[in-house]
Structure 1
């Protein structure tokens, strides 16, 4: 794998160093973990599509409109999946 450099402000570098030191790792590993855990817009859209498909399978259809009457049902559905109380 080819290595490269990324220029950041001193404050960002110092913060990355503090995060790395706190987890006994390197800045390289902190940045790699952040990149792996952060979704791209395409990944977010795909996750949203999968979520909508899962809800539709359970009879809940949510429109993009925040005033959608099924919104409360969808929120309750997700709360149930996550183990939270709606």
Structure 2
């Protein structure tokens, strides 16, 4: 596989180095792990679709009403999985 260079600020490079050192690995491996673990918007939408289908198969349907408590709970659940603090 061909290698390439990614330009980042010094602060980002230093943070990646600290993460790599703490994991006894390389910056290359840290970046590869981040890329593998981070979902694209399309992947996230597909997982949400599968999740909704699985919930519907178990009799749980999330209403489109933003005030629906089940919908709010589901959004909180997804936010937790995605690491979104909002």
Match of 2:58 in 1: 58
> In the aligned structure 1, how far is the partner of 2:64 from the partner of 2:21?
42
Cα shift readout 1:12-69 (whole Å, capped 9, x = no counterpart): 0000000000000000000000000000000000000000000000111113432125
Aligned length: 75
Task: Give the Cα separation in 1 of the matches to 2:6 and 2:19.
Answer: 17
| Alpha-carbon separation, structure 2, partners of 1:61 and 1:17 | 45
Structure 1: runs of 5+ lacking an equivalent = 79-86
> CA 1:47–1:55 in 2, change beyond 3 Å: closer, same or farther?
same
Partner residue, 1:17: 17
Structure 2 unmatched ranges of 5 or more: 78-86
- TM-score, normalised on structure 2? 0.78
Bigger radius of gyration, 1 or 2? 1
